[in-house]
Amino acid sequence: MPDTATKSSTAVAEDRSKAPGAGEPAAQPQAETDGFQLVIDALKLNGIDTIFGLPGIPITDLTRRMQKDGLRVISFRHEQNAGYAASIAGFLTQKPGVCLTVSAPGFLNGVTALAHATTNCFPMILISGSSEREIVDLQQGDYEEMDQLAIAKPLAKAAFRVLHAEDIGVGVARAIRAALSGRPGGVYLDLPAKLFPQSMDAEAGRKSLIKVVDPAPKQIPASDAVQRAVDLLKTAKKPLIILGKGAAYAQADADIRTLVERTGIPYLPMSMAKGLLPDTHEQSASAARSYVLPEADVVVLIGARLNWLLSQGKGKTWGGATPKAWGGQKFVQIDISPQEADSNVRIDAPVVGDIGSCVSALLKAIGPNWPKPLAEWIGAITERKTKNVAKMAETLAKTPSPMSFQSALNVVRDIVRGNPDAMLVNEGANALDFTRSIVDMYKPRKRIDVGTWGIMGVGMGYCVAAAVVTGQQVIAVEGDSAFGFSGMETETICRYNLPVCIVIMNNNGVYRGDEKNPTGGPDPSPLVFVKDARYEKLMEAFGGVGVHVATADALRKAMEDAIRSRRPTLINAVIDEGGGTESGRITSLNPAAKKKA
Ligand code: ADP
Ligand code: TZD
Ligand code: MG
C-alpha cells in the first residue's frame, strides 16, 4: 500500500503544476505533498477506509480530498452522532473508527463520543482541526479558540497533537496503536489548521508514513494463571460463565462457543454479547438470571466488568445479605486489562490476556473430557427458565389496544428471528429493557445499544455505522425520548439511502407519557412530550418511508415492507402511555427522599 502514498502525493504536485499562473513546468519539477495529503495517505496506508464527520474550517478541504482519494466520507448533521458512529464502527471491525470534526464547538460535540468510546473500550480516533497554537496559547481570541488537547486528555485513552507535516505519519500511527492495543479506547488527534497546507518533498513524505505492524498484539496469558483458573473451576458445584461485550469485540466466537459447550457451564450474555451463542441455546441462563447470580459459586467473567451492570459483583443481586455485602462467589476474570481485577470484589483467578488467547489456553488446560456440571444445578436452572419462558409467552401472546411494549416487541422478535443477520440498534429505558429481554439474538455482534453509560443518543449514529460497515439491514428499536437525541440523522440515513428501519416505541415521553404537572399549571410535566407526535413525517420529509401503526399486525407488515424494500423507514408505533416504569429496570438507582418517621 505504500504505492498509494506515492501516487496520490505525486498527483497533488501535478495538479499544482497545472494550476493557472503556475507557468511553464520547471525543468525538473520537485514532486511535493502537503499536510492534507499526508493525513489521507497515512489513514489509507493503515487500512482506514471510512470517515464519519462534519466539514467546516479548517477541515473542509480535507473531507473533499478524502472523498476524491477514495475514502468513504459519511457526513452527519451533528458531530456527536458521527462520533458515536465511529465508536461503534470500531467495536464492529476491530479497526479504529475515525470521526473528523472542526475546532472548538465541533470538537466538543465529538468529545462525548470520544469519552463514550473510552468508557466502553471501543477503538476510536477523534480527529479535530484546531486553531493557531500561538493565538490559542496566549488566549488572544482566535476563531474557535480552545485548548482542545488539554480538554481531550482526561476523556481519552491517549491524546496527541501534530505540528509538522513530517510528523503526521508518527501521529497517525501512535493514534492507531493507542486505540487498538491492550484495552481499546478513544484517542484524540489534534491537527492545527496550519498543518494542512504545509508542503514537503513527496518522497520524504512517503517515507515518513508508518504502516502500523500488529497494532493489537496478542497477549498470551501466563500458564500458572490459566492453571489457577482451571483449579478453581474444578471446585465449582454451581459454575456460571458471564460473557461481556469484550468477548463480542474479541471475535473469538468459535473458541468461546467450544468453551461453553465443552464444559456444559450455563452462561449469561451481557446485552451486547447476546448472540455470541444464539439466545435460544440450551445453556443460556438469561431467563433465570435472578436465580443464577446469587446461587452460582464460581463465576467466569469473559470480557465483562463487575460494574453497575452487574451490581458490582455484590449485594442482593449476588445473594449478599446487605446492599454492599459479598455473596460468597469466587471469580475467574478473563480481561486484557491487568488493572481490572479486584475493582469491586476479590478476583481469585485473574487471567490477563486477549480473550482469544485466554480462551484457547483454557480450552487446552481443561482438555477434552471436562465433567459436566451437576445435574441438580442444571435442572434447577432449567426449571426456572421453563417457568419464566412460559410466563413471558403468555404476555407476548396478548394483543392489547393500544399496544403494550410486549405486544409490539413480540413482532420485532419474530422479524429478528426471520432476519438473523440484521443489526439491532436499541436505546431508551423501557424500550431498551423490554427489547433486551424479549428479542433473541442469533449471531455475534448484531446487537448494539446504550452500553456502559446507558447513554441516550447513540441511536442514529449507530444505525448509520452499522449499515455502512456491515452492509446489512439495520433495525432500530428506539424510545421516543431516545430517538429525539439524534433524530435529525434520519436525513443522513436517507441521503446515503441506508437500509435502516427505525421503530419508535412511542409512549409520549420519558418512561411514560401520562405524567401531570403537579401544580396544575399550563406547562407539561418535564417527562412528557407532545401527545401522538408524528415522528414518521420526519422520515417522509427526506424522502424515506414513514408509517404510523397502532396494531401489532400493522407493525409486522410495515417492518416486513421495510426489510423487503431496504428503504429508509421510520415506523411510529403507538404504545400505551401508561405501560412503562420509571427508569425501566433500574428503578433502584433513583435517589428517593428519606421518608419522615
Ligand atoms: P459488558 O458491559 O458487556 O459487561 P464491559 O464493557 O464492562 O462489558 O467489559 C468489557 C471488558 O472487556 C473490559 O474490561 C475490557 O478490558 C475487556 N476487553 C476488551 N477487549 C478485549 C480483548 N480483546 N481481550 C480481552 N479483554 C478485552
Ligand atoms: N441523557 C443522556 C445522554 N442519557 C441518559 N441516559 C439520560 C439523559 C436519562 N435517560 C435515561 O436514562 S432513559 C431516558 C433518559 C432521558 C429516556 C427514556 O425514555 P424513552 O424510553 O422514551 O427513550 P421509554 O420506553 O419511554 O422508557
Ligand atoms: Mg418513551
CA triplet 438, 443, 449: central angle to 5 degrees? 55
Beta carbon of 430 within 6 Å of any ligand 2 atom: yes
pLDDT of res. 26: 55
Non-local (6+) Cβ contacts of 276 within 8 A are 243, 247, 248, 253, 256, 257, 269, 444
Q: pTM score, two decimals?
A: 0.95
- Quick one: three-class SS letters along 171-238? HHHHHHHHHHCCCCCEEEEEEEHHHCCCEEEHHHHHHHCCCCCCCCCCCCCCHHHHHHHHHHHHCCCC
pLDDT band at 24 (very low <50, low <70, confident <90, very high): low
Q: Does residue 475 have a pLDDT over 70?
A: yes
Average of pLDDT values for 551-570?
98
pLDDT of res. 8: 46
**Cα 341 to middle of ligand 2, angstroms:** 31
**Cα 100 to middle of ligand 3, angstroms:** 31
> Could you give the CA distance from residue 153 to residue 206 in angstroms, rounded to a whole number?
29
pLDDT band at 10 (very low <50, low <70, confident <90, very high): very low
Beta carbon of 273 within 6 Å of any ligand 1 atom: yes
If DSSP codes are grouped into helix, strand and coil, which group holds residue 343?
Answer: coil
pLDDT band at 470 (very low <50, low <70, confident <90, very high): very high
**Cα 86 to middle of ligand 2, angstroms:** 22
Q: Does residue 542 have a pLDDT over 70?
A: yes
Average of pLDDT values for 355-382?
97
Beta carbon of 88 within 6 Å of any ligand 2 atom: no
Beta carbon of 185 within 6 Å of any ligand 1 atom: no
Average of pLDDT values for 203-209?
98
Measured from the Cα of 273, ligand 1's closest atom is: 3
Beta carbon of 123 within 6 Å of any ligand 1 atom: no
> Could you give the CA distance from residue 431 to residue 478 in angstroms, rounded to a whole number?
6
Measured from the Cα of 452, ligand 1's closest atom is: 2
Q: Does residue 595 have a pLDDT over 60?
A: no
**Cα 80 to middle of ligand 2, angstroms:** 17
Q: Which residues pair with 74 in a beta bridge?
A: 52
- Looking at all shown ligands, the one closest to residue 357's CA atom is 1
pLDDT of res. 437: 96
The grid cell for 390 is 412460559
Pocket perturbation via mutation, ligand 1, pick of 336, 432, 452, 458 by most ligand atoms within 8 A of CB: 336
- Answer yes or no: are the C-beta atoms of 427 and 450 closer than 8 Å: yes
Q: Does residue 401 have a pLDDT over 90?
A: yes
Residue nearest to atom 20 of ligand 1 (CA): 246
Which secondary structure element, helix H or strand E, spans residue 546, and what is its range?
strand 545-549
Beta carbon of 80 within 6 Å of any ligand 2 atom: no
The grid cell for 58 is 479548517
Do β-strands 298-302 and 239-243 pair in parallel, antiparallel, or remain unpaired? parallel
Please name the amino acid found at residue 45. L
Beta carbon of 268 within 6 Å of any ligand 1 atom: no
Average of pLDDT values for 339-360?
98
Beta carbon of 44 within 6 Å of any ligand 1 atom: no
pLDDT of res. 39: 98
The grid cell for 247 is 468477548
**pLDDT tens digit string along 304-336?**
999 999 999 999 999 999 989 999 999 999 999
Beta carbon of 584 within 6 Å of any ligand 2 atom: yes
**pLDDT tens digit string along 229-260?**
999 999 999 999 999 999 999 999 999 999 99
- Asked whether the CA dihedral 288, 289, 295, 296 is positive or negative, the reply is positive
Measured from the Cα of 478, ligand 2's closest atom is: 23
Which secondary structure element, helix H or strand E, spans residue 501, and what is its range?
strand 500-506
- Answer yes or no: are the C-beta atoms of 288 and 388 closer than 8 Å: yes
**Cα 455 to middle of ligand 3, angstroms:** 14
Is 292 exposed, middle or buried, given 0-12, 13-18 or 19+ CB atoms closer than 10 A? buried
Beta carbon of 341 within 6 Å of any ligand 1 atom: no
Measured from the Cα of 353, ligand 1's closest atom is: 25
Task: For the beta carbon of residue 137, count every other beta carbon within 10 angstroms.
Answer: 10
Q: Does residue 2 have a pLDDT over 70?
A: no
> Could you give the CA distance from residue 564 to residue 175 in angstroms, rounded to a whole number?
41
pLDDT of res. 25: 52
**pLDDT tens digit string along 269-292?**
999 999 999 999 999 999 999 999
**Side-chain-side CA neighbours of residue 521 (13 Å):** 5
Q: Which residues pair with 490 in a beta bridge?
A: none
Q: Does residue 6 have a pLDDT over 70?
A: no
Task: For the beta carbon of residue 501, count every other beta carbon within 10 angstroms.
Answer: 30
Beta carbon of 477 within 6 Å of any ligand 2 atom: no
Average of pLDDT values for 125-132?
97
Query: What b/e sequence results for 416-443 when a residue is b if at least 16 CB atoms lie within 10 Å of its CB, and e otherwise?
Result: beebeebbbbbbbbbbbbbbbbbbbbbb
If DSSP codes are grouped into helix, strand and coil, which group holds residue 98?
Answer: strand
Pocket perturbation via mutation, ligand 2, pick of 511, 572, 585 by most ligand atoms within 8 A of CB: 511
pLDDT band at 589 (very low <50, low <70, confident <90, very high): confident
For the chain, what is the mean pLDDT?
Answer: 95
If DSSP codes are grouped into helix, strand and coil, which group holds residue 129?
Answer: strand
pLDDT of res. 486: 98
- Looking at all shown ligands, the one closest to residue 456's CA atom is 2
Q: How many residues does the chain have?
A: 597
Non-local (6+) Cβ contacts of 191 within 8 A are 35, 39, 59, 127, 128, 129, 130, 161, 162, 171
Selection from 221, 276, 290 nearest residue 585 by Cα = 290
Beta carbon of 503 within 6 Å of any ligand 2 atom: no
**pLDDT tens digit string along 511-523?**
999 999 999 999 9
> Could you give the CA distance from residue 303 to residue 262 in angstroms, rounded to a whole number?
19
**Is the bond preceding residue 58 a cis peptide, omega within 30 degrees?**
yes
Beta carbon of 131 within 6 Å of any ligand 2 atom: no
pLDDT of res. 15: 45
Beta carbon of 304 within 6 Å of any ligand 1 atom: yes
Average of pLDDT values for 364-392?
97
- Looking at all shown ligands, the one closest to residue 484's CA atom is 2
- Asked whether the CA dihedral 181, 182, 184, 190 is positive or negative, the reply is negative
Q: Does residue 496 have a pLDDT over 90?
A: yes
**pLDDT tens digit string along 70-122?**
999 999 999 999 999 999 999 999 999 999 999 999 999 999 999 999 999 99
pLDDT of res. 4: 42
Q: Does residue 508 have a pLDDT over 90?
A: yes
Q: Does residue 1 have a pLDDT over 50?
A: no
pLDDT of res. 313: 98
Average of pLDDT values for 434-456?
98
pLDDT of res. 362: 98
Q: Does residue 22 have a pLDDT over 90?
A: no
- Looking at all shown ligands, the one closest to residue 311's CA atom is 1
**Rg from Cα positions in the chain:** 26
pLDDT band at 556 (very low <50, low <70, confident <90, very high): very high
- Answer yes or no: are the C-beta atoms of 79 and 54 closer than 8 Å: yes
If DSSP codes are grouped into helix, strand and coil, which group holds residue 69?
Answer: coil
Measured from the Cα of 453, ligand 2's closest atom is: 6
> Could you give the CA distance from residue 573 to residue 459 in angstroms, rounded to a whole number?
17
Beta carbon of 510 within 6 Å of any ligand 2 atom: yes
**pLDDT tens digit string along 146-171?**
999 999 999 999 999 999 999 999 99
